[in-house]
């Protein structure tokens, strides 16, 4: 077992490069979901703190040490942050597990991804210098034009608890690479590593106000950020209802938003797969990784009838082999869900599925060997029909529902039978069929013969009720840039639209 005595620093809000007590001095307890114990507390920002942070961010943009930096200069800061994250990887990973219940293996992988994401956007920041000003040829002798890519301004980043630091960095790294000043509002359920990021920024000397970190409750800290007149954009990842509230608040000021709102993603398994075990493991990973608390989790298995029984049998064998334990234990592959609220919510989805007539093929309860903590067994539900809640709604826990199909057309129809549109996976060795599914799936992410692998270079986001806008890749950077056209009249001749008074 890793050291659970890693100290949790008592941090304040990180504003203008300093630790600052919230105006109202409120704090929120930190709960370890594996033990249900309070292990510290975080500051709770309110509208007053949001005002101070927005002011600090605006000042950063107005100051040369941030507002006039080149991409190459900003890249140096991003690389320094990446190096610090790797230096502190073991402590950060442990803190992430203590705070969110994520297995230590996954927390450590997240820290590598965090550093990789800063490195990736450091490269893009450097490349931005040569793309900052693009001449555009109009085939005109009278006008000279060019297009500038500029930082969008002050941006609010509101992020969830499932990958506490990583989801924040998917927005922080491109925002800083673009030259924006950012205010990060992480989830109150898991903010510890985001506060540690503040300490890292202080240590590497990030210009003050370039990144501000406000922990606090959604309506109290996130709400005022979304509706603040001097915040130029909100980038949000989280639930649909909250996304809708943020969009409503932003709409009053015609403030742009990007929303990443999760889903109910399908994984379609055909009978032509060569290896049931390989497909079973990807199916498992697609729903049980991070205890199913993944926006893109492939939570609906749609399996061809001819192999359904053999495939489920194999799936059960793999599922029974998953080690469920305290996330700091070696080889733990399934930790608790993040909070008491999430635990109740997941169990309720399971009991509703049962009352609606579905069969709990495996799991569905608290594991018997774990008396404390928000643990839910990996759960597989069959005899599902398309009007059931478990087919339609995002559980955000380790719960897979299963339906069978006979024909390709039926599989496509089932896969797209959802209000969401984030991700979809197909498992088949028929290349043409995979191409047909790639076209037919109504989503922003397609996985072929796998589920969930994620790369910094690739756009991340969905359509339908999964939201709009893209994190990651060059699209993630573009979303923090203002595109400004500059048009200059270069002719010595008068414009001659009006009759000149001098000719009267």
| Interacting span for ligand NCCCC(=O)O (CB under 6 A) from 188-196, 212-220, 293-301, 356-364 | 293-301
Q: Please classify residue 105 by burial: count the beta carbons closer than 10 Å to its beta carbon, then call 0-12 exposed, 13-18 middle and 19+ buried.
A: middle
To the query of whether residue 260 is one of the catalytic residues in this protein, the response is yes
Q: Which of 98, 70, 73 is nearest to 2 (CA)?
A: 98
Q: Which of 94, 215, 237, 304: binder of ligand NAI (CB under 6 A)? A: 237
Q: Which tokens hold the place of 372?
A: 């404390």
Which helix H or strand E contains 129, and what residues bound it?
Answer: helix 104-131
Q: How far is the CB of 103 from ligand NCCCC(=O)O (least distance, A)?
A: 14
**Rule CB under 6 A: is residue 163 a binding residue for ligand NCCCC(=O)O?**
yes
CA distance 263 to 118: 27
**Rule CB under 6 A: is residue 33 a binding residue for ligand NAI?**
no
* Beta bridge mates, 489: 143
Contact 209, 16 (CB under 8 A): yes
When CB distances are held under 5 to 8 angstroms depending on the partner's kind, the choice from Na ion, ligand NCCCC(=O)O, ligand NAI, none that residue 99 binds is: Na ion
Contact 76, 125 (CB under 8 A): no
| Interacting span for ligand NAI (CB under 6 A) from 46-54, 204-212, 240-248, 403-411 | 240-248
Q: How many Cβ atoms sit within 10 Å of the Cβ of residue 415?
A: 23
Q: Which of 246, 302, 401, 414: binder of ligand NAI (CB under 6 A)? A: 246
Helices (H), 143-264: 164-178, 192-204, 223-226, 240-251
When CB distances are held under 5 to 8 angstroms depending on the partner's kind, the choice from ligand NCCCC(=O)O, Na ion, ligand NAI, none that residue 454 binds is: ligand NCCCC(=O)O
Binding mask 449-488 for ligand NCCCC(=O)O (x = CB under 6 A): ---x-x----------------------------------
Cβ within 8 Å of residue 39, ≥6 positions away: 8, 30, 31, 32, 98, 99
Binding mask 142-161 for ligand NAI (x = CB under 6 A): ----------------xxxx
When CB distances are held under 5 to 8 angstroms depending on the partner's kind, the choice from ligand NCCCC(=O)O, Na ion, ligand NAI, none that residue 296 binds is: ligand NCCCC(=O)O
When CB distances are held under 5 to 8 angstroms depending on the partner's kind, the choice from Na ion, ligand NAI, ligand NCCCC(=O)O, none that residue 428 binds is: none
126, 260, 344, 435: the active-site residue? 260
Long-range contacts from 453-461, C-beta under 8 angstroms, 24+ separation: 454/113, 456/113, 456/116, 456/117, 456/120, 456/121, 457/120, 460/170, 460/260, 461/258, 461/260, 461/422
**Rule CB under 5 A: is residue 99 a binding residue for Na ion?**
yes
Binding mask 397-436 for ligand NAI (x = CB under 6 A): ----------------------------------------
Q: Which of 97, 162, 304, 377: binder of ligand NCCCC(=O)O (CB under 6 A)? A: 162
**Rule CB under 6 A: is residue 295 a binding residue for ligand NCCCC(=O)O?**
yes
**Rule CB under 6 A: is residue 73 a binding residue for ligand NCCCC(=O)O?**
no
CA distance 160 to 164: 6
Strand order in the sheet with 265-269: 359-362, 379-382, 399-405, 298-304, 265-269, 423-427, 445-448
**Rule CB under 6 A: is residue 242 a binding residue for ligand NAI?**
yes
Q: How many Cβ atoms sit within 10 Å of the Cβ of residue 454?
A: 15
Q: Which of 242, 234, 224 is nearest to 295 (CA)?
A: 242
Binding mask 221-250 for ligand NCCCC(=O)O (x = CB under 6 A): ----------------x-------------
Q: Which of 145, 186, 141 is nearest to 163 (CA)?
A: 186
Which helix H or strand E contains 233, and what residues bound it?
Answer: strand 233-237
* Interacting residue ranges for ligand NCCCC(=O)O, rule: CB under 6 A: 162-163, 167, 237, 294-296, 452, 454
* Interacting residue ranges for ligand NAI, rule: CB under 6 A: 158-162, 185-189, 218-219, 222-223, 226, 237-239, 242, 245-246, 260-262, 295, 342, 345, 394, 396
Active-site positions?
260
């Amino acid at each position: 077992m890793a050291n659970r005595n890693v100290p949790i620093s008592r941090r304040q809000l990180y504003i203008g490069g300093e630790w600052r007590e919230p105006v109202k001095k409120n704090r929120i307890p930190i709960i370890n979901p594996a033990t249900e114990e309070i292990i510290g507390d975080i500051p709770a920002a309110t509208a007053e703190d949001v005002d101070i942070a927005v002011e600090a961010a605006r000042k950063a943009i107005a100051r040369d040490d941030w507002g006039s930096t080149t991409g190459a200069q900003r890249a140096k800061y991003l690389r320094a942050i990446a190096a610090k994250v790797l230096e502190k990887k073991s402590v950060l990973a442990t803190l992430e597990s203590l705070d969110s219940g994520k297995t230590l293996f996954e927390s450590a992988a997240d820290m590598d991804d965090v550093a990789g994401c800063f490195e990736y956007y450091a490269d893009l920041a450097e490349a931005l210098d040569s793309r900052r000003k693009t001449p555009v040829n109009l085939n005109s002798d009278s006008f000279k034009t060019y297009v500038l890519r500029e930082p969008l301004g002050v941006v609010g980043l509101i992020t969830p608890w499932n990958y506490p630091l990583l989801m924040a960095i998917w927005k922080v790294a491109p925002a800083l690479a673009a030259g924006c000043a950012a205010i990060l509002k992480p989830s109150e359920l898991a903010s510890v590593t985001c506060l540690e990021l503040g300490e890292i920024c202080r240590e590497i000397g990030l210009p003050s106000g370039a990144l501000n970190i406000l922990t606090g409750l959604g309506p109290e800290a996130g709400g005022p950020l979304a509706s603040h007149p001097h915040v130029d954009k909100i980038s949000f990842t989280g639930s649909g209802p909250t996304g809708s509230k943020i969009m409503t608040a932003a709409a009053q000021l015609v403030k742009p938003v990007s929303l990443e709102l999760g889903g109910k993603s399908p994984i379609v398994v055909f009978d032509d797969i060569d290896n049931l075990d390989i497909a079973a493991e990807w199916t498992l990973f697609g729903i049980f990784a991070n205890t199913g608390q993944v926006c893109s989790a492939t939570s609906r298995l749609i399996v061809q009838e001819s192999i359904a029984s053999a495939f489920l049998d194999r799936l059960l064998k793999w599922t029974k082999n998953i080690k469920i334990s305290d996330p700091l234990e070696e080889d733990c592959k399934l930790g608790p869900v993040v909070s008491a609220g999430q635990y109740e919510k997941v169990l309720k989805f399971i009991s509703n599925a049962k009352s609606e007539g579905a069969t709990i093929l495996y799991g569905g309860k608290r594991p018997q060997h774990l008396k404390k903590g928000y643990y839910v067994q990996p759960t597989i539900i069959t005899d599902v029909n398309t009007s059931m809640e478990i087919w339609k709604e995002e559980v955000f826990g380790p719960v897979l529902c299963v339906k069978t199909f006979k024909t390709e057309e039926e599989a496509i129809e089932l896969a797209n039978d959802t209000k969401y549109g984030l991700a979809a996976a197909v498992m088949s060795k028929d290349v043409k069929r995979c191409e047909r599914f790639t076209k037919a799936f109504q989503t922003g992410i397609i996985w072929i013969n796998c589920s969930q692998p994620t790369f910094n270079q690739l756009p991340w986001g969905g359509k339908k009720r999964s939201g709009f806008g893209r994190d990651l890749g060059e699209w993630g950077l573009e979303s923090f840039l203002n595109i400004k056209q500059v048009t200059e009249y270069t002719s010595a001749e008068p414009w001659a639209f009006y009759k000149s008074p001098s000719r009267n």
